Amino acid sequence: MLNGTSTERLGQQAAERLRRAGFDVVEVANAEDRGFAETVVVDRADNRAANARLVARELKCTNIIPQLEPTLLLEVTVIVGQDYAKEKKRGFLGIL
């Protein structure tokens, strides 16, 4: 989990959400680029992106990109964008 924004703890908040949903989040850190407007789920291990799609669905993310790297021993990397902060501000009915 990488925080791709300048909003403190946004990556941690997304990681906690995934953990509550039963996902194993190994590490939370800041991305080198902190200017991501949108959250991106990067598929690392599966050409079909099955796990990436599950993670993306939980985070309400539509951006899934393949970047297979079997040496990382990871299935998915999430780069949290500013859109996730906006999602967190929505109220009970999904209204800002």
What is the number of other CB atoms lying within 10 angstroms of the CB of residue 58?
A: 17
Q: 3-state SS string over 16-58?
A: HHHHHCCCCCCCCEECCCCCCCCCEEEECCCCCCHHHHHHHHH
Q: Where are the chain's structural domains?
A: 2-89
Percent helix, strand, coil in the chain, to 5, is: 35, 15, 50
- What pLDDT does residue 33 have? 95
How many Å apart are CA 45 and CA 5, to the nearest integer?
Answer: 25
Architecture of domain 2-89: 2-Layer Sandwich (3.30)
Per-residue pLDDT of the chain (96 residues; tens, 9 = 90+): 999 999 999 999 999 999 999 999 999 999 999 999 999 999 998 778 899 999 999 999 999 999 988 788 889 999 999 999 887 654 544 444
How many Å apart are CA 43 and CA 77, to the nearest integer?
Answer: 7
CB 30 within 8 A of CB 3: yes
